[in-house]
Amino acid sequence: MSTGRTRAVQLTRWGGPPILTEAPRPTPTAEEVLIQVEAVGLCRSDLHVIDARPGDLPYRIPFTLGHEVAGRVVRRGPLAVGPATGERVVVYGPWGCGSCARCAVGAENYCDRRAALDADRAGTGAGLGRDGGMADLLLVPSGRLLVPVGDLAAVQAAPLSDAGLTAYHAVATVRRALGDDPAASVIVLGVGGLGHLAVQILRATTNAQVLAVDVREAALALAEECGAHFGTLLQPDTAATLRRLTGGVGAVAVLDFVGSRSSLELAVDVLRTGGELAVVGSGGGELAVRKPGALPPGARISLPFWGTLPELEAVVSLAHKGLLTVEVERFPLSSAPEAIARLRSDEVRGRAVLLPD
């Protein structure tokens, strides 16, 4: 990389393929911080952005993709806060206004001014309308959005900022239902980049019995490696199997990392009365919420989105303790199109991570 330029995987037109190009080297001003990217994860949301049609998203193009980033602070603006030059960090991805009641407590994923930011086409964050980390360098608006990772390998650290954080926040959303009851069952639907981390987080932070469902044998093998007590392929009798494994009462919590019609139908079939359903995946499925209806009495439904800064610190801490290990498939940055194709065809085991080559 020449000093004045940075390589970047950019979306240059809606519906067009991302292209590996070059962009000017950013210079941090005021509170901004410049990161040398060491690893960037690939997410299904990247596919949604790549496939968006004109007008679907409140983003200006071109912009660089990549919202799951780890790297090293290489330059800070004069008013920068947070990690010092040379520190290795992960980048908190949902960039809010930084000053509303939600942002003030680190919940920028639920920024109260999101609609206004979207109206200004300010973007949701790195790689989401703002230049992201599928590049050699990433300019971050403020050091408040950086979490130190110490000596954690970048290929492990990057996925913590999105897959790990989203899984952790989803577990936190249903934690009330779990209590400390070892007889409580949690069902994880979809054991991909997020689901395999949710299994580990559930085993590390709860006493619940973890039951995993996927359509791929390889994913079930990964679920078992991550500590799931039981795994099954999705088939006609899966609901009956899961109900039997939960003593006939169903699961106190279901984490749906797929969000498709079939996964939501299964979730409703196996949710215990008073149970919690967290719909994390954006699989296009719909759920009718009516009374009386298919959902059990007392059911609580949530649509958790990403996570908070304090939760990202907790996720990094779990990784440092060896309680959270990301299954990764590595790709050189220049092979981003291949990685995107593999993710699109459901062939990635765990999380795809791009490394500057």
For residues 112 and 161, give the distance between their C-alpha atoms in angstroms, rounded to a whole number.
21
The type of residue at 24 is: P
User: Which option in Zn ion, ligand FEH, none does residue 103 bind, with CB closer than 5 to 8 A by kind?
Assistant: Zn ion
List the beta bridge partners of residue 71.
37, 89
Query: What phi and psi, each to the nearest 5 degrees, are found at residue 49?
Result: -70, -45
For residues 248 and 253, give the distance between their C-alpha atoms in angstroms, rounded to a whole number.
14
In the complex, what is the shortest distance from the CB of residue 235 to Zn ion, in angstroms, rounded to a whole number?
29
DSSP per residue over 266-307, as a string?
A: HHHHHEEEEEEEEE---S-------SSSSSPTT-EEE---S-
Does residue number 59 form part of the binding site for ligand FEH (CB under 6 A)?
A: no
User: Which option in Zn ion, ligand FEH, none does residue 117 bind, with CB closer than 5 to 8 A by kind?
Assistant: none
Does residue number 166 form part of the binding site for ligand FEH (CB under 6 A)?
A: yes
Binding mask 295-314 for ligand FEH (x = CB under 6 A): -----------x--------
Query: Is the Cα dihedral 49, 50, 55, 56 positive or negative?
Result: negative
Does residue number 155 form part of the binding site for ligand FEH (CB under 6 A)?
A: no
Q: Which residues contact 125 (CB under 8 A, 6 or more apart)?
A: 67, 93, 94, 95, 132
User: Which option in Zn ion, ligand FEH, none does residue 10 bind, with CB closer than 5 to 8 A by kind?
Assistant: none
Does residue number 103 form part of the binding site for Zn ion (CB under 5 A)?
A: yes
Q: How many CA atoms lie within 13 A of 51 on its CB side?
A: 9
Q: How many CA atoms lie within 13 A of 26 on its CB side?
A: 28
Kind plus residue range of the DSSP H or E element containing 23: strand 19-24
Could you tell me how many residues of this chain bind Zn ion (CB under 5 A)? 9
Closest CB to ligand FEH among 128 and 312?
128
Does residue number 162 form part of the binding site for ligand FEH (CB under 6 A)?
A: yes
SS (H, E, C) 205-267: HCCCEEEEEECCHHHHHHHHHCCCCEEEECCCCHHHHHHHHCCCCCEEEEEECCCCHHHHHHH
According to CB under 5 A, which one of 11, 28, 34, 45 is a site residue for Zn ion?
45
Closest CB to ligand FEH among 166 and 246?
166
> Could you tell me which stretch among 56-64, 108-116, 208-216, 314-322 binds Zn ion (CB under 5 A)?
108-116
According to CB under 6 A, which one of 6, 45, 200, 238 is a site residue for ligand FEH?
45
Residue 292, classified by CB atoms within 10 Å of its CB into exposed (0-12), middle (13-18) or buried (19+), is exposed
Closest CB to ligand FEH among 49 and 299?
49
The tokens for 261 are 């019609």
**In the range 123-142, which residues lie near ligand FEH by CB under 6 A?**
124, 128
User: Which option in Zn ion, ligand FEH, none does residue 124 bind, with CB closer than 5 to 8 A by kind?
Assistant: ligand FEH
Does residue number 257 form part of the binding site for ligand FEH (CB under 6 A)?
A: no
Does residue number 33 form part of the binding site for Zn ion (CB under 5 A)?
A: no
User: Which option in ligand FEH, Zn ion, none does residue 97 bind, with CB closer than 5 to 8 A by kind?
Assistant: Zn ion
Sites of contact with ligand FEH (CB under 6 A): 43, 45, 124, 128, 162, 166, 306
Sites of contact with Zn ion (CB under 5 A): 43, 45, 96-97, 100, 103, 111, 113, 162
